[in-house]
């Protein structure tokens, strides 16, 4: 089979397509013949900035057909169409995934749409859960046109937010996020992001984090779930009576397994009813993974970037 790895850190050009043996599933794992693979910003950042062993593969969402089951796996059978999270070597014709990350894909949903929905939707729902009830409150979302952000905009609206502000990197994305239901669209470079909000979902971090914190009203909460890092003076939290809460899906899914499962059911329900629209920005062949990374690095995507073997 083919898989994509990098043997050194750098730009998208360091990605290499190589031949490898089809892996065998271990205990609690399923082997999936991939039909669609999600590209994530954290994975792209690790290529350039480091943070993974070399040579190394990439984690990400995968959708396709189960072709082998590991010991003690129940609830799935060979031939099932599933979407799951592979933590290593997701960019491949075949990939392993822990069964607890897998869910069946409804017959009406394509593999690409499933990849665009599940991980991003889980992150968005978890961020809203951690933020607390948003019904009747104002919410600002950074990275609002991204794979996670475009779902968070829609989900904030579906959860009854009184005002949804979508923050994006360039003016050419504002029509897209308004079309998803945002009441307002602001560009990071704008002098003002409008009236302060009750909740910020920060998908960007880094140099943008202080601006995101400034956008909070007193007693507001910022949910920080990005891989961009960033620092803020603790005094700003004290003086503004503001809260920053961190979120990683590994900890969330472990701490709240029942809620995580409920979120999965909710995502399929909303997507199949047409109330939540997972958007695929562009699909690239597996061998063109470098081009997919270029799109993410340029922050040019509107929705999810997908690879297809």
The pLDDT tens digits of the residues spanning 133-177 come to 999 999 999 999 999 999 999 999 999 999 999 999 999 999 999
226-252 mean pLDDT: 86
Quickly count: other Cβ atoms within 10 Å of residue 221's Cβ: 17
Residue 143 gets which letter from DSSP? S
pLDDT at 199 over 90: yes
Which DSSP string do the residues of 132-166 spell out, in sequence order?
A: ---TTSEEEEESTTSTTHHHHHHHHHHTT-SEEEE
List the alpha helices (DSSP H) in 159-233: 174-179, 209-214
Stretch (H or E) spanning 306: strand 304-308
23-41 mean pLDDT: 95
Q: Are 94 and 59 in contact (CB under 8 A)?
A: no
Give percent of the chain with pLDDT exceeding 70: 100
Query: Residue 42: its pLDDT value, please?
Result: 81
CA–CA gap between residue 89 and residue 162 (Å, rounded): 41
Stretch (H or E) spanning 115: helix 111-131
Fold classification of 2-105+279-308 (topology level): Quinone Oxidoreductase; Chain A, domain 1 (3.90.180)
Q: Give residue 169's Cα distance to chain centre.
A: 17
The pLDDT tens digits of the residues spanning 62-78 come to 999 999 999 989 999 99
Assigned CATH class of 120-250? alpha beta
pLDDT at 229 over 90: no
Residues facing residue 289 across a β-bridge? none
242-263 mean pLDDT: 90
pLDDT at 227 over 80: no
Stretch (H or E) spanning 270: helix 257-272
Which structure tokens are listed for 288?
């063109």
The pLDDT tens digits of the residues spanning 100-145 come to 889 999 999 999 999 999 999 999 999 999 999 999 999 999 999 9
Q: Give residue 64's Cα distance to chain centre.
A: 18
Query: Residue 28: its pLDDT value, please?
Result: 93
Residue among 281, 305, 278, 280 nearest 151 (CA)? 278
Q: Are 60 and 292 in contact (CB under 8 A)?
A: no
Task: Sort strands 216-224 and 197-202 into parallel, antiparallel or unpaired.
Answer: parallel
The pLDDT tens digits of the residues spanning 265-295 come to 999 999 999 999 999 999 999 999 999 999 9
Q: Are 140 and 297 in contact (CB under 8 A)?
A: no
Quickly count: other Cβ atoms within 10 Å of residue 194's Cβ: 16
Which structure tokens are listed for 232?
């803020």
Task: Sort strands 243-246 and 280-285 into parallel, antiparallel or unpaired.
Answer: unpaired
Query: Residue 25: its pLDDT value, please?
Result: 96
The pLDDT tens digits of the residues spanning 3-29 come to 999 888 888 999 999 999 999 999 999
pLDDT at 228 over 80: no
Residue among 82, 53, 45 nearest 65 (CA)? 82
Half-sphere exposure of 24 (CA within 13 A, CB side): 2
Residue among 71, 95, 70, 68 nearest 83 (CA)? 95
The full set of domain ranges for the chain reads 2-105+279-308, 120-250
Q: Are 139 and 165 in contact (CB under 8 A)?
A: yes
Residue 83's alpha-carbon distances to 63, 64, 222, 295, in angstroms, are: 4, 7, 30, 23
């Amino acid at each position: 089979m083919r898989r994509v790895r990098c043997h050194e850190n750098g730009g998208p050009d360091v990605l290499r397509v190589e031949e490898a043996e089809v892996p065998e599933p271990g205990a609690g794992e399923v082997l999936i013949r991939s039909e669609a693979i999600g590209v994530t910003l954290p994975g792209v950042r690790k290529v350039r900035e480091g943070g993974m062993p070399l040579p190394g593969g990439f984690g990400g969402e995968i959708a396709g057909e189960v072709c082998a089951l590991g010991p003690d796996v129940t609830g799935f059978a060979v031939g099932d169409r599933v979407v799951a999270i592979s933590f290593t070597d997701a960019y491949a014709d075949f990939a392993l995934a822990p069964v607890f990350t897998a869910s069946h894909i409804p017959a009406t949903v394509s593999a690409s749409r499933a990849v665009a929905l599940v991980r991003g939707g889980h992150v968005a729902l978890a961020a809203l859960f951690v933020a607390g009830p948003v019904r009747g409150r104002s919410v600002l979302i950074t990275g609002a046109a991204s794979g996670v952000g475009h779902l968070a905009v829609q989900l904030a609206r579906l959860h009854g937010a009184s005002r949804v502000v979508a923050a994006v990197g360039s003016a050419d994305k504002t029509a897209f996020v308004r079309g998803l239901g945002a009441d307002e669209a602001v560009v990071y470079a704008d002098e003002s992001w409008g009236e302060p909000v009750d909740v910020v979902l920060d998908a960007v971090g880094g140099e943008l984090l202080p601006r995101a914190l400034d956008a909070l009203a007193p007693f507001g909460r910022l949910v920080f779930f990005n891989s961009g890092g960033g620092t803020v003076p603790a005094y700003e939290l004290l003086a503004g009576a503001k809260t920053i809460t961190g979120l990683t899906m590994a900890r969330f899914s472990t701490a709240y397994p029942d809620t995580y499962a409920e979120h999965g059911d909710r995502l399929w329900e909303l997507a199949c009813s047409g109330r939540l629209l997972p958007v695929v920005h562009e699909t690239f062949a597996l061998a063109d993974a470098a081009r997919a990374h270029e799109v993410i690095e340029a922050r040019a995507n509107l929705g999810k970037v997908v690879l297809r073997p």
